[in-house]
């Protein structure tokens, strides 16, 4: 098995064979017979690689490693949310002093550039703990094979429905901006710095992400609600515009999958980000002909993980009934729905400092949970790093309040990925389509027994949850994908 770094520019693929320390150029991925499915390819242009490879070959895709995902896993660092820019390999190499100041990519120095990328890959590999490498080989690479094959196949969409949604969303986004301008004197509300300034002026600290923060406070603050609606509707609008603008004609879209899309290793999609589409807009996503969607959804996923890893018997028992329902019954006030309860749960998990007094009192009754939270925060403060039983570490330094959230979400990602891998291996009749946070969308050909396939898939998702989290009886739902 050979390893390559590849870079597409000037209508050619420039490559560095890491295994043999050789450079080369290929005008075609298949005809040159340089690339084959038994090799590993590191690149930042995975979508272009898949597109070109598929134009000339029906053979299995090689092992593709998105360098952005690779970097997130092994560098284990995330900048403060308010300072995050779009990930850029060129800037990263300069930050790590692998490229000299003033270096610019040109036709006469491309090999120098990709050799520096190779040095970056090798440097990371040599300085990575065994546990992280084991996760990479046994979890991340198999997941990459599954998601990139789906990217290659594409996803069926209803373009006419997308056009209708675009018209509606454009009007909705416009009206929301007008309301923010007229009622709150907020101009250019779509800009990140404007959103951050609004949160700061209102004394609201970021919990998780800007979008999550607006959602958390949407019931208490009309401005937050408007900002949240604006962000979500703009995301859906961008996704639908992507569907119409990109290849696929009137039947399919080919989103860009990222296997380690977040620092907690969530699978994400871009261009279009289909997994973020609101439920009432999902009608544009269709199963293939003669297929039916199977939507598998973990029940109280993060709450169940928290109950298990904290070994809090009281919380474990509540999971077996319903933690969120218990929060509604015992907190009261503004906690009226499951969504309200989930928001407060996530604020607690993210270490928000301004929880409602009633919410603080509620969580303080779980003594083992309280002790566990202190324990991992102490470990994070001492070690400057936090992770799971199978890697996915994160440098936290002075940001220890995210420790609990990282452990819970990284564990959720691991369980989810292991379930996807096992289903792919044991139940080929269930074709993976999309990750949807705590849920997975599959499609099943109508020639198979849908109920039988459903039960088999659910059993695997339950097994992976139970294997990682003792003390609870995991629950998985097969629910409606559409609203």
Q: How are beta strands 40-43 and 3-9 bridged, if at all?
A: parallel
pLDDT over threshold 50, residue 83: no
Tell me how far apart the alpha carbons of residues 349 and 363 are, in angstroms, rounded to a whole number: 11
Dihedral of CA 159/161/163/166: which sign?
negative
pLDDT of 14 reads 95
Mean pLDDT of the chain: 91
pLDDT over threshold 70, residue 376: yes
Domain boundaries, the chain: 3-128, 158-250, 301-407
User: What pTM was computed for the model?
Assistant: 0.92
**CB-based contacts of 225, cutoff 8 Å, min separation 6:** 214, 218, 219
Tell me how far apart the alpha carbons of residues 258 and 46 are, in angstroms, rounded to a whole number: 9
Which fold would CATH assign to domain 301-407?
DNA polymerase; domain 1 (1.10.150)
Q: Name which residue leads in pLDDT, 353 or 471.
A: 471
Are the C-beta atoms of 217 and 347 separated by less than 8 Å? no
Confidence of residue 441 (pLDDT cuts 50, 70, 90): very high
pLDDT of 32 reads 63
Confidence of residue 286 (pLDDT cuts 50, 70, 90): very high
DSSP state letter for 209:
B
pLDDT of 355 reads 83
Are the C-beta atoms of 293 and 282 separated by less than 8 Å? no
The percentage of the chain sitting over the pLDDT mark of 90, rounded to a whole number, equals 73
394: β partners: 386
Give the total residue count for the chain: 483
Distance (Å) of CA 198 to CA 80, 216, 217, 227, 351: 18, 15, 12, 10, 21
pLDDT of 332 reads 80
pLDDT of 352 reads 80
Are the C-beta atoms of 421 and 146 separated by less than 8 Å? yes
Q: What is the pLDDT of residues 15-26, one digit of tens each?
A: 999 989 999 998
Confidence of residue 273 (pLDDT cuts 50, 70, 90): very high
Are the C-beta atoms of 16 and 114 separated by less than 8 Å? yes
Give the position of tokens 């109920």. Answer: 451
pLDDT of 56 reads 82
**CB-based contacts of 33, cutoff 8 Å, min separation 6:** none
**CB-based contacts of 143, cutoff 8 Å, min separation 6:** 259, 267, 417, 420, 421
Q: Region 27-34: what's the mean pLDDT? A: 72
Q: What is the pLDDT of residues 320-369, one digit of tens each?
A: 899 999 999 999 888 889 988 988 898 888 888 778 889 999 999 999 99
Helix (H) or strand (E) holding 119: helix 110-126
Please report which residue ranges of 38-109 form alpha helices under DSSP H.
46-56, 67-75, 89-95
Helix axes 222-245, 192-201, angle to 10 degrees: 170
> Rounded to the nearest 10 degrees, how much is the dihedral formed by the CA atoms of 212, 441, 268, 195?
-20
Q: What is the pLDDT of residues 169-192, one digit of tens each?
A: 999 999 999 999 999 999 999 999
pLDDT over threshold 90, residue 205: no
Q: Residue 278: helix, strand or coil by DSSP?
A: coil
Could you tell me what percentage of the chain is helix, strand and coil, using 3-state DSSP and rounding each to the nearest 5?
55, 15, 30
Tell me how far apart the alpha carbons of residues 420 and 418 are, in angstroms, rounded to a whole number: 5
Q: Which of these, 426, 138, 413, lies nearest to 298 by C-alpha position?
A: 413
**CB-based contacts of 266, cutoff 8 Å, min separation 6:** 409, 413, 435, 437
Are the C-beta atoms of 36 and 62 separated by less than 8 Å? yes
């Amino acid at each position: 098995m050979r390893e390559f770094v590849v870079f597409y520019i000037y209508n050619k693929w420039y490559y560095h064979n890491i295994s043999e320390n050789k450079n080369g150029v290929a005008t075609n991925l298949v005809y040159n017979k340089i690339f084959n499915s038994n090799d590993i390819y590191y690149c930042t242009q995975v979508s272009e690689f898949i597109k070109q490879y598929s134009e000339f070959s029906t053979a299995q895709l090689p092992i593709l490693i998105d360098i952005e995902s690779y970097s997130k896993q092994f560098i284990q660092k995330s900048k403060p949310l308010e300072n995050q820019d779009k990930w850029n390999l060129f800037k990263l190499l300069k930050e790590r002093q692998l490229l000299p100041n003033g270096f610019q990519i040109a036709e006469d120095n491309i090999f120098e550039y990709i050799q520096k990328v190779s040095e970056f890959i090798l440097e990371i590999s040599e300085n990575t703990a065994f546990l992280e490498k084991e996760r990479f080989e046994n979890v991340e690479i198999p997941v990459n094979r599954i998601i990139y094959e789906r990217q290659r196949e594409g996803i069926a969409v209803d373009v006419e429905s997308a056009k209708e949604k675009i018209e509606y969303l454009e009007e909705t986004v416009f009206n929301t901006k007008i309301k923010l301008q007229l009622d709150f004197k907020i101009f250019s509300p779509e800009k990140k710095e404007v959103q951050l300034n609004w949160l700061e002026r209102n004394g609201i600290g970021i919990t998780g992400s800007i979008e999550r923060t607006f959602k958390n406070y949407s019931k208490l603050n009309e401005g937050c609600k408007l900002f949240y609606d604006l962000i979500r509707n703009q995301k859906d609008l961008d996704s639908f515009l992507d569907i119409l603008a990109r290849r696929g004609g009137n039947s399919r879209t080919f989103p860009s999958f990222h296997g380690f899309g977040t620092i907690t290793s969530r699978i994400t999609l871009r261009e279009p980000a289909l997994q973020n589409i609101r439920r009432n807009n999902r009608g544009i996503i269709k199963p293939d002909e003669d297929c039916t969607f199977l939507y598998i959804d973990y029940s109280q996923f993060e709450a169940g993980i928290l109950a298990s890893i904290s070994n809090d018997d009281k919380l474990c028992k509540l999971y077996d009934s319903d933690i969120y329902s218990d929060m509604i019954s015992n907190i009261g006030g503004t906690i009226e729905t499951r969504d309200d309860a989930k928001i407060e749960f996530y604020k607690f998990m993210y270490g928000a400092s301004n929880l409602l007094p009633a919410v603080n009192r509620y969580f303080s009754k779980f003594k083992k949970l309280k002790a566990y939270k202190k324990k991992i925060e102490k470990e994070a403060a001492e070690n400057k790093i936090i992770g799971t039983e199978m890697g996915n570490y994160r440098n936290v330094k002075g940001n220890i309040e995210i420790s609990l959230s990282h452990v819970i979400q990284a564990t959720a990602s691991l369980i989810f990925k292991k379930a996807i891998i096992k289903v792919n291996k044991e139940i080929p009749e269930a074709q993976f389509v999309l990750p949807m946070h705590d849920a997975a969308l599959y499609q099943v050909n109508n020639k198979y027994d849908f109920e039988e396939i459903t039960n088999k898939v659910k059993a695997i998702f339950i097994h992976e949850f139970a294997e990682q989290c003792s003390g609870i009886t995991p629950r998985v739902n097969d629910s409606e994908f559409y609203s």
